Structure 1
Amino acid sequence: MSWLSLTFRIGSDYVDLVGDRLLERGALSVDVHDAGEGTSQEQPLFGEPGAPPDQFWQQAEVTVLLEENANIDEIIQEVAEVIGSLALPEYQLAQVMEQDWVRLTQAQFEPIRISSRLWVVPS
């Protein structure tokens, strides 16, 4: 089994509207982050844990996980309608293959030496 990962950029004002609409249409997940992440345009946001930030990014990059047979043209058209644009947003599409996600996540952990005789080792 595989899925589709659809990524596009929109103004942050539309993130909640677009995310909610795509989830209603059957998206499996919606991930949002700063479109400028890792560049000179990155906008770090700070605040107290659990409190909404005082500001939001100007541009957000949205990645949506979809069923393999999703109609991408319809979804992009719907995004354009929600944001009130006549032009369709540019997007990237990638296939996400089935993997053992638990094992993949656990592979990032290394053994930790506590003392000469005690190690914490992931199973």
Structure 2
Amino acid sequence: MNDLTRSDFYSSAYGIVLRLNPDSVVGYDNETAFRRISEPSRLEFTNYYLGKRFGYRERPHIRHIAKTMSLTLLQEFSVIWQQEIVVTTTYPFREMTSGHPDIYMLFLFVHSLVERWREALL
């Protein structure tokens, strides 16, 4: 990881660099997400709420590498999904009990950014 450069995170032409994994998609089955405690349930739960705003569809998982986010956009998305995020903040460490998965903020951030670009293009 010592060979990372600024362009690995941000491009002046395109903004924040997003690295998605098209080989691993996340569904949006909210009923399944409520029945188990796992990373996939958190992703499905988050994708369900993305679907309520931007349309239901499978979305690619995010690659497990170094990333960057915009604090301004995080604050904006925190207003849009305020109720879901408030519940998430009550857990001492991620999702501790079944019944209400927590929001996966990085997944929410990346796909909200993608969806807003899609809206702008339309």
After TM superposition, the score normalised by the length of structure 2 is 0.21
Structure exhibiting the larger radius of gyration computed from Cα positions:
1
| TM-score, length of structure 1 as denominator length | 0.21
More strand by share: 1
Give the structure with the larger helix fraction: 2
Q: Tell me: higher relative CO, structure 1 or 2? Use CA pairs within 8 A at least 6 residues apart.
A: 1
